[in-house]
Structure 1
Amino acid sequence: MSISHTLRSRYSTKLFDASKQITEQDFRAIKDALRFSPSSVNSQPWHFVIANTEAGKARIAKSAVGNFAYNKPKIENASHVVVFAVRTELSEDYLAHLLAVEDADGRYASADFKQSVSNGRGGFVTIHRELGDTQQWMQKQLYLNMGSTLLAAAAAGIDAVPMEGVDVDVLNQEFDLPAQGFNAVAVVSFGYRAEDDFNAALPKSRLPEDEIFSLI
């Protein structure tokens, strides 16, 4: 399947078939996307809570309350559900940890190159600290990850729906995320569409090329 066909055929699933489960082998594509998605200066400011059991999904579904109750079935009937969380800060300890992992993975042929990368990444972090937008910057990286993961799921023939319509405070409390240095941002459900999912039959609608592209 071409990437163009994948982009044109994927959609946000509104009704999952609860009887269909993603195999562990097929879900590996999702895990790989979550882990290997790009981020600015390889900051990887994320953590993911993955549920594939009824009990786990029920814990995440606690966040689909009040105005967000309409999303509860999308969590309960999916095969796997992932809570996307972002770091509360990019501490010096975390930056040192990143550098150590990169070094262990063989990214640095010399101490000078390693120090150069460390200085460059630290420089970007300092800029955003001074601007006061570190949280926004990290969330941008998380959404890059989400986009990559949605595309990876579609390429693997897996349906998905991203949801900001959840109570992130409930998720933070349920999974004790702030104590671990993270805050919940959104939830993505993965599985297979139900035959009567209305959104599957609707034509895709996007703005025309001449409206969104400027060729120079």
Structure 2
Amino acid sequence: MNVIEALKWRYATKSFDKDKMVSKEKLDIILKAFNLTATSYGLQPLKLLVIENKKLQKDLVSCSMNQEQVAQASQVLVICIETLIDKAFIENYFSLVKSIRNTPDAILNPFKDFLIDDFESKSESEIIEWSIKQAYIALGNLLTVCALEGIDACPMEGFDPTEYDKILNLKFKGLQSVLVLPIGYRAADDFMAELKKVRKDFNDSVIVM
């Protein structure tokens, strides 16, 4: 499938085949795609939890608005944000840039200092809001890659982040859950798979100026 065909093929899967698993090779592609996702300033304030423990998946159903896809899926991906974006976080990023690109400090330091000042001027809620936006960028990327690999997915905002954070012990990890993405393969009886995709007319969505 080319990318347009893949995007036409995908849909928010309502029922997964619980006996059909995503292969390690395809899962690796998805996880690497997450790590390659574009983020503002390249800071990557995100972590991806990969849940494949079936008991844990079942435990999460009740705090996922009882959406059974969470239990049925081959894996459940939870996109999380880092809860502490501070001076040390930014300095670690620039150390990574320097180690990979061998960029001189004279070039890096002005931008590093700008980012440190910028983030120190923001409130905690503003930083969280910024981080959440990065999570949605990652979700869009994951949905496209899943479609290209012929893997079904169901993006979810309908879950209780507080309960997820508690069950997955995310506070201890310095993380906060933002989005949930069960992945796998559609069940044969998922009636949604046969429905026509509903989208606005192309000319109603795109404005060329």
Q: Same fold (TM over 0.5)?
A: yes
The amino acid across from 2:54 in the alignment is: E
**Which of 163, 166, 170 is matched with 2:163 structurally?**
170
Q: Secondary structure, in 3 states, of the residue corresponding to 1:26?
A: helix
Which residue identity is paired with 2:104? S
In structure 1, C-alpha distance between the alignment counterparts of 2:185 and 2:164, rounded to whole Å: 24
Q: SS at 2:154's partner residue?
A: strand
Structure-1 separation of matches of 2:69 and 2:180: 10
Residue 81 of structure 2 is matched in structure 1 by 86
For residues 148 and 59 of structure 1, what CA distance do their matches in structure 2 show? 27
Aligned counterpart, 1:207:
200
Letter in 2 for 1:46: L
**After TM superposition, which residue ranges in structure 1, 4 or more long, deviate above 6 angstroms?**
none
One-letter code aligned to 1:47: K
| Aligned positions, number | 209
Residues 1:74 and 2:69 are matched in the alignment: yes
Q: Give the partner amino acid of 2:105.
A: A
Corresponding residue number in structure 2 for 1:179: 172
The letter for the 1-side match of 2:198 is: S
Normalising by the residue count of structure 2, what TM-score does the alignment of the two structures yield?
A: 0.92
Q: CA deviation at 1:24?
A: 0.7
Alpha-carbon offset, residue 23 of structure 1 = 1.0
Alignment of 1:5-154 (within 5 A): 5-64=5-64, 68-69=65-66, 71=67, 73-104=68-99, 106-126=100-120, 129=122, 133-154=126-147
Once the two structures are overlaid, the 10-residue window that deviates more, 186-195 or 114-123, is 114-123
TM, length-normalised to structure 1: 0.89
**Identity value in percent:** 24
Indicate conservation of the 8 Å contact 2:75/2:183, yes or no. yes
Say whether residues 1:155 and 2:148 are aligned partners.
yes
In the TM superposition, residue 131 of structure 1 has moved relative to its aligned partner by 9.6
Unaligned runs of 5+ in 1: none
- Which stretch shows the higher mean deviation, 86-95 or 152-161? 86-95
* Letter aligned with residue 194 of structure 1: A
Q: Which amino acid aligns with 1:22?
A: V
Deviations 1:162-216 (A, max 9, x none): 1111111111111221232211112100000011111111111111122222222
5+ long unaligned stretches in structure 2: none
